[in-house]
Structures are given as structure tokens and as C-alpha cells.
Structure 1
Amino acid sequence: MALRLLLSCILLTTGFSAEISMLVQTGASLQLDIRTQEKLPDFDDFSWKNEKSENIAKYSSESKKVKLHDSYKNRVDFNNKSFSLTLKDTQKTDSGVYTAIASGQSDNNIVTYRVSVIDAVESPVLAVNSSWSSPDPCSFTCNGRYIIISSIYNSSSCSPEEVTSSDNHILRLNCSGDSIMCNYSNPVSWKNDTKKVNELCTVNQGPERLQAKEASLHLLWLIPVCLFTIGSLVVFGKLKKGAQKNEQTIYAEVDDNNKPQKSLEMLKKSENPQTVYDTAKDPGQTDVTIHTTPNDDHMNQVNVKQ
């Protein structure tokens, strides 16, 4: 207990203060303030030093001028009224300890910062699991760098999840309505990937809906077959009707002993096809009846008697 009090007294008399942690994204600017409500002690020089004890910026109370370190020129700004220091376009190499010191008859540490320059997170990726297949419930992954969450979207929801890595990166998964959201963040940045469920995967629709969908696909295949069949019937009907218009039929009643020679000769001379039917009569008499059907469907009858 006595040792702890002694250390506290030493810190107070020498002006040391606790470190203040500051996080900044790579490429961004960071302002370091003196953060004191009290008036600064009298000093000859005020400087900001890095952990290598290099004077990044040194201000003289006598000349009112600021001298910048060669390696920080064009990369820092010093405010000679607030005594703050701004680091511009920060890089990973800028991570470290920065201390503001007021120097006079003694050095007084005004404030100390521990700066960490962190890269922004990469965009997460929502993707379907390679093992998933329809019509099973949609199985997908929310993938951040070094962190993966696997989940299932069933009916209209999925279980919200959150995973934090050892380097303070956080991956969050959530579903809202028909949207799936994957958020990836660290202390200086965050990004997300949001997709509609039907963009990501086909949700299980149940056996009845699947059967209806398959039946509709079969009906689509039947349409061209039906059209082809109907077209064939129409063409065949037109051809048959045309053949019937050109057909002529002759009915002849003939005797077994006497053939209707005249009628046959007339048939041979005819330009249109004819059909002869013979019917046996009493001996000595031959009746030949010729029925012709011309193209105008008018029936002509020719009776030949011998």
C-alpha cells in the first residue's frame, strides 16, 4: 500500500499521465489534443515526441516558430494556439506512442497517446453452402475475413448470430423479412452484404408446390405437340375435301351375257375418273345406269338400255 502511494506521488510530481488509446483507419487523419483543463506550466519549448524520442514538432515560446522533423514534413500539422498535433494520411508505421512535453526548468509530460492504425475491414460475402441442394431448406454462409457463420433460412427466418475474433473484428448475421444481412466490422470501419432470399437461394416451397411446378413444366412441353397435331389435321382435311370434289362415280346394271360396251367406251373417253358397278338382270336385257358426280357436285344420270 505504501509503495503504491509512493508511485502515485512520483507520477503526480513529474507530470506523467496515463496513456490514452486512439484507433484510426489507415489513410485517415488523427488529431492529438493536450486534453487539459488546467493552464500549461511555463515552458521554453513545447514538443510532440514519438516512442523513438524524435521531436515530430517542436514549438519555441520565444520565437513562436515550429520546427518539424524531416520524416514528418508535409505529414503533420501543429496548432500553436491549442498545441494539438494532427497526423495526416496515417499508415501502419505510424502506430505507436506519442507524448506532449512542456520543457522549461524541467520536462512535464502533458499527455501520452498510444495510437493504433488499423486497416478497414473487407466486405463480407453471403454465399450458398456448396453442399446445399434444392428443395432442402436454404443453407448459406456469412463470411468475413477469418470468421465464418453458417446458418439455415427456413420458412421466413434464420437465427441471428454474432462472432468476435481475437483482434476485435465482429461478424453479425441477421434476417429481416425476405432479406439476409451479413455485417462485418472493426473499431474503425464496418461493411455489409445484404441479399434478398430469392437472390441467394431457392427457399423450400414444400412438396405440393414443387409438384405443381413440375406439372406446369410438362404442360409447356405439350403445347407445341398439340399445335403440330391440330395443324396436321387441318391440312389433311383440306386435301381430302379437294379429292372428293374431283371424284365421279358410275353405277352400271349389266347382264351376265351382254357387257355394256358402249358404257365402257364412254368411260374410256371421259377425262374424269369413274367407277362402274354391274348388276345381273334377266337374260336378253341389259340396263346400264351411269351416275356421274362432276366438280360442281351436280348429279347426272345416264341410262343405257340394250
Structure 2
Amino acid sequence: MAINHFVLFLLIFKTGFSAEISKFVQTGASVQLDLQTQPPELLYITWKNDKTENVFNYFHVAKMKTSFPPYQDRIEFNESSFSLTLKNMQKTDSGLYTVTITGASSKDIVDVYRVSVIDEVEAPVLTVNSNCSCSELCRFTCSGHNINISSIYNSGCSKEEVTSADDHILRLNCNTTFIMCNYSNPVSWKTDIKVVHELCPVKLDTFCMRSD
């Protein structure tokens, strides 16, 4: 992998290039990669990944398109915008994608994309102590896959948010009607909602505070 990054560095050093662009895509979905720069007299477009595998070539003069395995059945190319769409993306497709744009000038242009393929987020779980009475505090927990927020509910509470190391975000929000637990990642989100008066009867003149 270090050698591949060194080769990529040499390629970028010798050509014009744009900053690395991050793209997130859900497993099984499609991702569109757009050219950041288009030379006035386009000759060739060459796509490769960080494994130095050819992905797609386009010879503009002859309108010749060539796709390479394992992408040959998963590519859609727009001959007007020159954008490349990769379909049915899998986690093994994650990595750097480099497009070299050759025009009439002697200096090629390089765009670099970091594509991250991730699974749809799991549904969060909102657990409420339904045994509480009007004279008791109502404790509940908003849980994601590897993070959680525990709180004490009375008549409402402030919004809270926790982010995990792998960019999953857990959000808690509640009012006099609902307790809402939202779990998301860069490609999806899901919510668990509980109706307050059905699960947690509380005094209306109290407030919510974070528990230890």
C-alpha cells in the first residue's frame, strides 16, 4: 500500500491536480465521480484505483470507452459531463480513485477521490423505565451500535449528541410529547421514537438532566 501511495504521489507531483475529494456511498448503491477540471481540448480520460488497477478509459476523438474488471458491468459514463458512475459498490471497492485527464497541453490534470463504502446504519434502541410513577424520575437510554446516551426525563430535555470514532452519530431529543433517539452515519439514518405519556408519566413542572 505504501508503494502505491508513493506512485500516486509521483503522478500528482508531475501533473496538475485537485485536492482529494471524499465520497461516501452505501453498500450496494452507486457513486458518481465528476471531473473537477475539463480541458478545452480533451483527448483521453483514464481512471485507476489505488491498487493500480485500470477502471475505465475514454478516447474522446473516437468516442471509444473501455471498462475493466471487476467494474466492466457496473459503469455508466456520461459523454457530455464526462462523469463516471460506479454501481453496486461493495466494501472491497473502498479506496482512492484517480482520474488522469489528458488534453492538448503537455501537462495532464489529475483528480483524486477517496471513496468509502459503508453499510446502512443499524436502528437505534430507546429503552425507557416504564415502571416509574408521577413521583419518580423516569430514566431512559438511547443506544446505537457502540455508543449510548443515558438521561433522566421529566417534562423535557436538551438535545444531546455523541459521535463515535467511526463517524456514527447518536442524537437525543425530547419534549413533552416524544422522546427521540436518532442514529446515523454518512449514508443513512434511523430513529426510534417513544410517546412520553404512554411510557413515562411525569410532573410537568420539572426538567431533564444528564445522568452519570
Alignment TM-score, normalising by the size of structure 2: 0.79
The one of the two structures with greater contact order (alpha-carbon pairs below 8 A, sep at least 6) is 2
**1:175-203 CA distance string (max 9 Å, x none):** 12221111111222111111111333344
Q: What corresponds to 2:115 in structure 1?
A: 115
Shift of 1:116: 0.8
Output the CA distance in 1 between the equivalents of 2:167 and 2:56: 32
Question: Which residue of structure 1 lines up, in the alignment, with residue 20 of structure 2?
Answer: 19
Aligned twin of 1:52: 51
What SS is found at the alignment partner of 1:31? strand
Q: Secondary structure at the match of 1:72?
A: coil
CA distance in 1 between counterparts of 2:61 and 2:132 reads 79
Q: Please name the residue that 1:186 is paired with.
A: 185
Are 1:146 and 2:146 matched, yes or no?
A: yes
1:280-299 aligned at under 5 Å gives the runs: none
1:288 is matched with: none
Change (3 A) 1:42 1:191: closer
Q: Does 1:28 align with 2:29?
A: yes
SS in 2 for 1:89: coil
**Whole-Å Cα distance in 2 between the matches of residues 145 and 201 of structure 1?**
25
Aligned amino acid, residue 134 of structure 1:
C
Contact 2:176/2:196 (8 A) holds in 1 = no
Q: 1:42 to 1:73 in 2, by over 3 A?
A: closer
Where in structure 1 are there 5+ consecutive unaligned residues? 1-9, 206-306
Residues 107 and 100 of structure 1: CA distance in aligned 2, closer, same or farther (over 3 Å): farther
User: 2:132 — aligned with what?
Assistant: 134
Instruction: Give the SS at the match of 2:70.
Output: helix
TM-score of the superposition, structure 1-length normalised?
A: 0.56
- Given that 2:75 and 2:86 are in contact with CA atoms closer than 8 Å, whether structure 1 keeps it comes out as yes
Distance 2:172 2:32 in 1: 34
8 Å Cα contact 2:30/2:85 also seen in 1: yes
Q: Summarize deviations over 1:202-256 as a string: whole Å, max 9, x none.
A: 4469xxxxxxxxxxxxxxxxxxxxxxxxxxxxxxxxxxxxxxxxxxxxxxxxxxx
- Bigger radius of gyration, 1 or 2? 1
- What residue identity is the alignment partner of 2:55? I
Residues in 1 aligned to 2:23 and 2:178: alpha-carbon distance in whole angstroms: 36
Tell me which residue corresponds to 1:234.
Answer: none
Q: Which has the larger helix fraction?
A: 1
C-alpha change, 1:118 and 1:15, in structure 2 (3 Å) is same
Runs of 4+ off more than 4 Å: 10-13, 103-107
- Aligned-pair CA distance for 1:106: 6.1
Q: Identify the residue that residue 197 of structure 2 maps to in structure 1.
A: 198
Per the alignment, do residues 188 and 171 of structure 1 end up closer, same or farther by CA in structure 2, a change over 3 Å counting?
same
1:52-78 deviation digits (Å, cap 9, x = unpaired):
222211112343211111311221112
Q: 1:89-108 counterparts in 2 under 5 A? A: 89-103=88-102, 108=108
Unaligned residue ranges in structure 2 (runs of 5+): 1-10, 205-212
Please say if residues 55 and 68 of structure 2, whose CA atoms lie closer than 8 Å, have aligned partners that are also in contact.
yes
Task: Name the CA shift for 1:171/1:115 in 2 (closer, same or farther; >3 Å).
Answer: same
Residues 107 and 69 (structure 1), Cα distance of their counterparts in 2 relative to 1, 3 Å cut:
farther
Show the counterpart of 1:124: 124
